[in-house]
Structure 1
């Protein structure tokens, strides 16, 4: 993809960031190890710690000044094959500070060693642990938004669907950044023609194949395997969906937002011009990222205050 299509404010960071070949075992191992040891992004007034909550290991962000008993349940990205809560440390800690809420970040097992439904089961167990121990986390169970970025956004969208079908306490919103929700994108060879910055369709195909333990794009998938495959989206909680207009997931995310709206779900779709995948995280000090996060946290504040 031509670098000229990238917002000028994001070009330098885009050039510096490599596009990993997720299909190589050594690459996956190195990234998994590196993300486990990322330095903590300290934010004044926020205490960050790994905690055992009901037998589930979570990374918890607690503001010194709690201004709300609402909470955010967050799921990190990594193409379903690597990643760690630490890679989203700045995003989670700053959200905890700005909104005065507890943020809880879940872990999950990775493909290809662990395929669907195991990663989803992991975040489901984490959600249940947060609900069961909400008081210890200074959270009211009925006031939690589920969110995530990329593969984490896809898992969050699938989790929301699963919880809707199970009944019980529901997330009051879904906060999704470039969610990876449709395996049919990976199955479309025409998407290979554009070498998207950061995450291209070859990497996408490998990740979906690894997660599903079969080729992406088959006619039928089990429920929750790919959030965009769900036919009936009615009754789901309000959604914030952010995506760059030049990234691979643009079309599937915009279509999901359209379908949610058609099903009566309130949606704020934020399409960022010239923005590659995940820029709000790895280019977080740039103007486009700062402006997006201000809009995103504004939406989150409104939902949590309702």
Structure 2
């Protein structure tokens, strides 16, 4: 998920007045605190449009509802989509299942209030990058298993899916300055504590553990070939396809974790962003 480099000025989420920006507190999981969502809507009403439910990255431990959401502004400014970005509780202060349950609660609210938000309930996409991609996949599993809401698509960008750290890619990087095996261990342990890697981890927390991937929405997955999440992303895409889910998988040669931010003007970043943008636009126009 592309966003501005560290230290860059905060983006204008109004896109010069083309987008209305609203923070709203909505019901959280049963018996848990309420959840805050950021709502971005076209300033000029254009009837029901597609909805993009956004879950931010941050290794399960950092970030907020505004993180990376500016990458989705063009779709709102053009009147093609409404974006709802959820502020979920972060680990380690709030370990699993708090983050994924917060994400699911925000998704339920979005679907239940689709008419007010001018969202077409039949065109509701979930999207996330890195840890947000893992949470998006877990939230999609919850939506399927709880029979609400129906998602049309999931977009998983370099998703963080597997706490077991047994794949080659999850172990191959050490001190490379992106997201290496030490960062991976830290993020998963913050989320799961002593359960990390053991038998008592839910597939909603670590979607790579799901044994049944049938009935999930059409899925777009992309990642770099030189990144920690490569193998789990490829395996997840393969098993989704074997379960009958339509899958678009893109593996970008030489891409490290976060290359779209670290080298956003490189040929690989421009190609991957253009490919993802083309997919999202097709969804929004369908």
Q: TM range, normalised to the smaller chain?
A: 0.7 to 0.9
Q: What value does the CA root-mean-square deviation take over the aligned residues? A: 2.6
Against the structure 1 CA distance between its residues 48 and 281, is the aligned structure 2 distance closer, same or farther, given a 3 Å change threshold? farther
Q: How many residues align?
A: 273
Alignment correspondent of 1:202:
182
- Does residue 182 in structure 1 map to residue 162 in structure 2? yes
Q: Report deviation, 1:289.
A: 2.6
Query: Contact between 2:80 and 2:285, CA under 8 Å: does it hold in 1?
Result: no
Q: In the TM superposition, what are the counterparts of 1:69-108 in structure 2 within 5 Å?
A: 69-97=49-77, 100-108=80-88
Deviations 1:171-191 (A, max 9, x none): 111011101011112798981
Against the structure 1 CA distance between its residues 207 and 53, is the aligned structure 2 distance closer, same or farther, given a 3 Å change threshold? same
Bigger mean CA deviation after superposition, 129-138 or 62-71: 62-71
Bigger mean CA deviation after superposition, 163-172 or 74-83: 163-172
- Gaps of at least 5 residues in structure 1 are 1-15, 18-33
Larger relative contact order, structure 1 or 2 (CA cutoff 8 Å, min sep 6): 1
Alignment correspondent of 1:57:
36
Q: Report deviation, 1:98.
A: 5.2
Q: Report deviation, 1:48.
A: 4.9
Alignment correspondent of 2:223:
243
Alignment correspondent of 1:28:
none
C-alpha distance in structure 2 between counterparts of 1:238 and 1:188, whole Å = 27
Query: Contact between 2:129 and 2:159, CA under 8 Å: does it hold in 1?
Result: yes
Against the structure 1 CA distance between its residues 153 and 48, is the aligned structure 2 distance closer, same or farther, given a 3 Å change threshold? farther
C-alpha distance in structure 1 between counterparts of 2:258 and 2:235, whole Å = 19
Query: Contact between 1:61 and 1:92, CA under 8 Å: does it hold in 2?
Result: no
C-alpha distance in structure 2 between counterparts of 1:247 and 1:294, whole Å = 20
Under a length normalisation based on structure 1, what TM-score does the superposition of the two structures give? 0.80
The one of 272, 279, 282 aligned to 1:292: 272
C-alpha distance in structure 2 between counterparts of 1:198 and 1:208, whole Å = 16
Over 6 Å off, 4+ runs: 186-190
Under a length normalisation based on structure 2, what TM-score does the superposition of the two structures give? 0.85
Q: Give the structure with the higher percent strand.
A: 2
Alignment correspondent of 1:149:
129
Deviations 1:142-193 (A, max 9, x none): 2100010100000000000011011133111101110101111279898165
Q: Give the structure with the higher percent helix.
A: 1
Q: What secondary structure is seen at the aligned counterpart in 2 of 1:169?
A: coil
- Gaps of at least 5 residues in structure 2 are 28-34
Query: Contact between 1:46 and 1:93, CA under 8 Å: does it hold in 2?
Result: no
